[in-house]
Amino acid sequence: MSGAKLAQFGKQHIAKGIGRSTELVIERGQGSYLWTVDGKKYLDLTTGIGVTSTGHNHPKVVKAVQDQAANLSHAQVNLFYHKPMLELIERLKPKMPSPELDTFFFANSGAEAVENAVKLARHATKRPNIIVFQGSYHGRTLGTMALTTSKTIYSAGFGPLIPGVHVAPFPYHQQWTAHKADPTKFDAEWCVQESLHQLEILLKQRSHPEETAAILLEPVQGEGGYVAPPATFLQGLRKICDKHGILLIADEVQSGFGRTGKMFAIEHTGVTPDIMVMAKGIASGYPISGIVSRKELMDRQPPGSMGGTYSGNAVACAAAKATLDIFEEENIIENVNARSEQFFNAFRTKIPALLPKGITADIRGLGLMIGIEFLNAPAGSASKVASEAFKLDTLVLTTSIYETLRLIPALNISKEETDLAIEKVLASIEAAFKA
């Protein structure tokens, strides 16, 4: 059956509520490339929204999965310990932002891990409220919908949502009205201080500190636009949390596991969270997520309060261990930083010349978490660029409510593939703004 017929079948029998950026039917992947059932090849700068971190079907991951599946595919976490999970914890502990983060719980998806982080925070503090930030994305489950503010589509029509969630401003200075009026006066650091000031007001007006369990944020916002706040913002949050006995939760679902040029994005700030959430790129495409915290916090939960049928699946744990092997053997972090410099140098040098008068580009992010926001551009500009890229057999995504393109290549993308990606993206921008 052709790809078009298979796609039509899918359209008839798969839930309409799933948004999809293409009608492609994918058959196989290798490294930075995907092939459709019709044999068409695409350069993939999406990696399943940051999941296939070591590229599609890395041989070492494939071998680890095959070996583990032949030995033990499932050992339910509420019944047994199993070696792949225990060995994964042993490997992960030295990678944590601080030795204090030494106790783990594994789940399946990012949203599930976020919900368990909130459960832990509420239980450990005996406080009900959670503070999140404007533009945040933490999931689409019934609980995480209330925590997500990046787009209303994720929660519209599903209310009432869980109570006790309060939203504070995020220092996304490009979209602050004051900054637009006078960037020289109301700069990024001004936005940081104003955001922290507004958070203090929130704690006085809406969520008393003694009723606030945690402040939850992405160290780099994902769905909110690939916005990396200055380190001073995270440092200010840490001070506020310490002052009031509030827990700081870092959602590293999209920004973690080498994506930003360090193992975790929060390491760029020198801040240690009380709870950290991990998912997406942990296992190069296999479903596993987790939270990590201090043992004294985790030990406050009674046995039976955490769990899940597939939590910490043995095959997914084996894939995660293989992913860590690849990080070490192939110097993945070093490659991320080198390719990041390659992308950013090219984009910051060449994109301005491709844009019409009056339109500028904010080229931002960390590592291989790259955002390109077209400022003062017509609605739909970013989607038009993505469409032009698709015509050039290249897959890219948009993000946020603003005109923002995001690039999420494999962390082991080569220098030559990066050159090709740059060429395709630049050509797509030029075509989109000429049309």
| Residue 62: pLDDT band with limits 50, 70, 90 | very high
Residue 174 CA, distance from chain mean position:
20
Average pLDDT for 40-69: 98
- Position 181 scores a pLDDT of 86
- 318-339: pLDDT as tens digits: 999 999 999 999 999 999 999 9
pLDDT value for 125:
97
Q: Is residue 184 included in any domain, yes or no?
A: yes
Residue 31 within any structural domain of the chain: no
CATH for 379: 3.90.1150.10
Categorize the per-residue pLDDT at 178 as very low, low, confident or very high, splitting at 50, 70 and 90. Answer: confident
Q: What is the b/e burial string over 3-33, where b = at least 16 CB atoms within 10 angstroms of the residue's CB?
A: beebbeeeeeeeeeeeeeeeebbeeebebbb
CATH number at residue 179: 3.40.640.10
Instruction: Answer left, alpha or beta for residue 285, where phi above 0 means left and psi between -120 and 50 means alpha.
Output: left
d(CA 133, CA 218): 9
Q: Are residues 313 and 360 in the same domain?
A: no
325 and 339 both lie in a single domain = no
Q: Are residues 259 and 276 in the same domain?
A: yes
The mean pLDDT value for 410-418 works out to 98
184 and 207 in a common domain: yes
Q: Which residues contact 140 (CB under 8 A, 6 or more apart)?
A: 111, 148, 154
196 and 117 co-located in one domain: yes
Domain boundary among 329, 356, 371: 329
pTM: 0.97
pLDDT in tens, 396-405: 999 999 999 9
Q: Is residue 422 part of a domain?
A: no
Cα separation values, 348 from 17, 113, 374, 434, 435, Å: 37, 36, 13, 19, 22
The whole-number pLDDT of residue 183 equals: 85
Residue 217 lies in a domain: yes
Per-residue pLDDT reduced to its tens digit, 209-228: 999 999 999 999 999 999 99
Together in a domain, 317 and 338? no
In a domain, 411, yes or no: no
Q: Is the domain of 186 the same as that of 138?
A: yes
DSSP-H helix ranges across 104-187: 110-125, 142-145, 177-181
Domain that holds residue 147: 61-329
User: Which of 267, 295, 329 is a domain's end point?
Assistant: 329
375 to 66, 288, 372, 382: CA distances (angstroms): 47, 37, 9, 10
The residues with which 373 forms a beta bridge, in sequence order, are 362, 404
Domain count, the chain: 2
Residue 211, domain member (yes or no): yes
**Residues 212, 87: one domain?**
yes
Does the structure show a pLDDT above 90 at 46?
yes
The CA-to-CA distance between both ends of the chain, in Å, stands at 35
CA trace torsion 324, 97, 195, 214 (10° rounding):
100
What is the pLDDT confidence band of residue 184, given thresholds at 50, 70 and 90? confident
pLDDT at 374 > cutoff 80: yes
421 neighbors 394 (Cβ within 8 angstroms): yes
Per-chain mean pLDDT for the chain: 96
- The predicted structure's pLDDT at residue 435: 63
Residues in CB range of 149: below 8 A, 6 or more apart? 132, 133, 134, 135, 136, 137, 167, 224
Per-residue model confidence (pLDDT) at position 332? 98
Residues 261 and 400 in one domain: no
Q: Regarding beta strands 212-217 and 165-168, do their DSSP bridges make them parallel or antiparallel, or are they unpaired?
A: unpaired
49 in a structural domain: no
Q: Quickly list DSSP for 84-95.
A: HHHHHHHHHGGG
66 lies in the same domain as 192: yes
Mean pLDDT computed over 178-197: 91
Cα separation, 325 vs 158, in Å, equals 42
Residues 243 and 311 in one domain: yes
Same domain as 232, residue 320: yes
Categorize the per-residue pLDDT at 345 as very low, low, confident or very high, splitting at 50, 70 and 90: very high
22 domain-assigned: no
